[in-house]
Amino acid sequence: MDKKPVIALKGRQQPRVKIEDVARKANVSPATVSRVLNHPDIVRPELRDKVMRHINDLAYTRDSAARALKSGRMRTVGVIVPTLALGIFAEGVEALQNRLSESGYTLFIANSQYDQRREFQELQSLIERGIDGIVLVGASHGRELRSLIEQAGVPVITTYVAKAGGGIPAIGIDNESATREITEYLLRLGHVRFGAIANVVAASNDRSRARLEGIQRALSDAGLPLKPSQIVKADYSLAQGRSALRQLLTDHPDTTAVICTTDTLAIGAMAEARKMGLAVPSTLSITGFDDVELAAQMDPPLTTVSVPAAEIGRGAADYLINAIAGSPVPRSVVLPYRLVMRSSSAPPRSSVRPARRGRSRDH
Amino acid sequence: MDKKPVIALKGRQQPRVKIEDVARKANVSPATVSRVLNHPDIVRPELRDKVMRHINDLAYTRDSAARALKSGRMRTVGVIVPTLALGIFAEGVEALQNRLSESGYTLFIANSQYDQRREFQELQSLIERGIDGIVLVGASHGRELRSLIEQAGVPVITTYVAKAGGGIPAIGIDNESATREITEYLLRLGHVRFGAIANVVAASNDRSRARLEGIQRALSDAGLPLKPSQIVKADYSLAQGRSALRQLLTDHPDTTAVICTTDTLAIGAMAEARKMGLAVPSTLSITGFDDVELAAQMDPPLTTVSVPAAEIGRGAADYLINAIAGSPVPRSVVLPYRLVMRSSSAPPRSSVRPARRGRSRDH
DNA sequence: TCGATTTATGAAATCGATTTCAGACTTAGG
DNA sequence: CCTAAGTCTGAAATCGATTTCATAAATCGA
């Protein structure tokens, strides 16, 4: 921690330029300056231009605290994600911020590390900051949190899920249905011995839980319910994907298809399969979820589910902007996911092809 | 875009509880309530407890706009990153937010998409919001932006670089020195025919430019200056890494070592090398920069430079917290990077080992 | 040309919390 | 028992922009 010579910060800022200063310079009242900024159309053009010149000359910017105090609106939205380390959340936040920025909103960001207590605290802090709207991730939030939101009377939307409890609107995909489809696809290919790797360790990760349920349901429906030992629970990391695959194949060496609830786990599993000398997909089919950038570049490219993160972010922004303005808003928006069949999945080596059905694509 | 029935948002929030309401309930003056909240120690304990009870009963939270207006401090910091899609920035932002949150600060986030104009606009918007401090990335910022900062009198710190112009303090690593070291390491292994893949398309990406310069300088010093055709300029993406490698090997089929300015490009290059049937590292050595999670899991694992993103984020937070408080702060902090030698790099197939030198490790 | 409208501007109240200043009350000392 | 010092508390000013209300100027019709 190589520290260069320590200095004290130079003199504090000069007194801020106030609306009154501009008014005096321009020989008008503060009210007029305010009008020039907020309702330019009701000020005589020549006067407006004059005032504008002085505003620029003095590099005046209004004090948003004073503004917020008077108007009751902060023009600020907050988002709390579990973590930014996941590209899928980072992408959503980026899209959210871009859309908000276009509408003059600024975005507060916080992360919960999948911890509901932390999520609650961060939300509390954001609400104290007077945010006009809030974006959450997922459907599992404590009662406490919901009543805090209700009490504050702030519009909320929850993201990455198709529906949330407690009358909270949602925008996202139907995670369970997506894994159900991908599982059915593998069944159609002829697989009968499955394994699942799911990051369901964090209590608040309802997305992954829904994904796991989709797998289980599809297999139960097919008369091939998963035994507990066929499900390896993991945290979120590549390394865990590796060890999970190893464990799975130790317990069930004859597995032909492994369904992972995230691409990261799937990529870890593929790395481990390679190391173990198992050919993907001829010996082992592996699927992921999220369609991260790398998925398409793997060797073989990874079969996965593409999540429209940017659309989710934009949609959340639009929802809040409307809700804040008092416009009517949809209760929930279910976005289509996309099954991306690549070559990490194939029929098992020597399978008797079952009765075929057609299709499978967009949801 | 499957829309559910549209509804209007329920009745707007009940009138906010004010400090005066609490005061009335507790039979004290607003001043006392304020003191209970801000200087609890100067209020008689029993009275303080009584007021506290009423504060809780009414679930009073102070209006931060009013508070900020009077006190002139928002307890808010802003950060502008080029993009959140890069794990390295997401990680830094996350660490930044965590540290700020511990100190009662809230974080505004914005992204510039590597566009200086956008960066300026976002900064302007943040300054209007009254932020107490600002975190930027990299050293290339327009004069305009610097004077805006100066005028606003807001403490700034720039990140991921070792030094920034214009008296702006920095916290980060010496990018040029890092690639110089990695190039020298490849030279010591015996390589003489080099190629570089650099994401220097975005005008404001000074990090990558510094990295490229490090490569060039090391090779010039070794008497092997790169010809323009040995440098492929790319954008930031895996696919570009692939096509860049293909182009490089078309022009210079005898290349034995390819140095990339980011892991993403290197991973793309490795994927392409595999596809072209080139063995890494025996035929071709490839190196990256950033040490993303995947780097260690590649086959073969990628030689790269590890950037302490979390430390940078934390350090930036600490810097601003101190600067805002008026405490003395270091002008700049250079953090150590770490060369991570993995097996994507090795001596060229049939090289005459040159005179050996020792070491190479931490900076 | 004069009154009736319309339009543009300014004076002043307002948003809610903080803090200075002064006064009320308590305690200690003589 | 009375004054002096010390503690607490309340009244009121303040932060800076917005907006209502009123007034002055401009426009129009008769």
pLDDT for A6: 40
DSSP string, B43-107: S-HHHHHHHHHHHHHTT----HHHHHHHHS---EEEEEES-SSSHHHHHHHHHHHHHHHHTT-EE
Query: Hey, of B10, B125, B146, which one would you mutate to test binding to chain A, going by the most A CBs within 10 A of its CB?
Result: B125
Separation of alpha carbons B300 and B258, rounded Å: 15
More confident residue, A76 or B14: A76
Which letter does DSSP use for residue B226 in this model? Answer: P
Written as one letter, the residue type at A70 is K
Buried b (16+ CB within 10 A) or exposed e, A86-110: bbbbbbbbbbbbbbbbeeebbbbbb
Q: Report residue B33 as tokens.
A: 């309530």
| Alpha-carbon gap, residue B118 to A101, rounded angstroms | 11
Q: Which of B268, B326, B334 sits opposite A2 (nearest CB)?
A: B334
Q: What is the pTM of this model?
A: 0.87
Å between A66 CA and C10 C1'? Answer: 21
Which positions in strand D are less than 7 Å from the protein's CB atoms? 7-12, 14-20
Average pLDDT across each block of 10 residues of chain B; the chain has 363 residues. List them in order: 38 69 91 92 90 90 90 91 93 97 94 93 90 93 87 91 89 97 97 95 85 97 96 90 96 96 95 93 96 88 97 97 89 96 92 45 43
Look at B8 and A326 and tell me if their CB atoms are within 8 Å: yes
d(CA B358, CA B111): 43
Task: Evaluate the omega torsion of the peptide bond into residue A348 and state whether it is cis, within 30 degrees of 0.
Answer: no
Of B128, B213, B174, the closest CA to residue B305 belongs to B174
- Report pLDDT digits (tens) over A249-276: 999 999 999 999 999 999 999 999 999 9
Choose the mutation target among A17, A38, A94 for the interface with B, i.e. most B CBs under 10 Å: A94
CA nearest neighbour of B329 among B133, B138, B176, B148: B133
Q: Tell me how crowded residue A3 is: count the other CB atoms within 10 A of its CB.
A: 11
CA distance A140 to A160: 12
CA-based nearest residue to B157, from B328, B324, B316, B321: B316
Task: Enumerate the nucleotides of strand C whose atoms come under 7 Å of any protein CB.
Answer: 8-12, 14-20
For residue A147, the model assigns a pLDDT of 87
Residues 49-88 of A with CB under 7 A from strand D: 60, 62-63, 66-67, 69-71
The pLDDT value given to residue B14: 60
Residue among A72, A208, A229 nearest A140 (CA): A208
Q: What is the dihedral of CA B330, B336, B337, B342, to 10 degrees?
A: -170
How far apart are the CA of B109 and the nearest CA of chain A, in angstroms?
A: 6
Length, in residues, of chain A: 363
- Residues in A closer than 8 angstroms to B69, CB to CB, are 63, 65-66, 69
Strand C contact at CB of residue B18, distance < 7 A = yes
Asked whether the beta carbons of residue B111 and residue A91 sit closer than 8 angstroms, the reply is no
CA-nearest of B86, B83, B136 to B290 is B86
Per CB-CB distance under 8 Å, the chain A contacts of B87 are: 85, 87, 90
* Nearest chain B alpha carbon to A308: B1
Give the model confidence (pLDDT) of B54-89 as tens digits. 999 988 888 889 999 988 888 899 999 999 998 899
Pairing state between β A329-330 and B106-111:
unpaired
Distance, in Å, from the CA atom of A22 to the CA atom of A30, rounded to the nearest integer, reads: 8
Cα–Cα distance measured from residue A219 to residue A186, given in angstroms and rounded to the nearest whole number: 10
Mean pLDDT of A91-96: 98
Q: What is the CA radius of gyration of chain A?
A: 27
Find all residues with CB under 8 Å of B101, minimum gap 6, and list them: A110, A122, A125, B107
Scanning every strand, the nucleotide with its C1' closest to B29's CA turns out to be D10
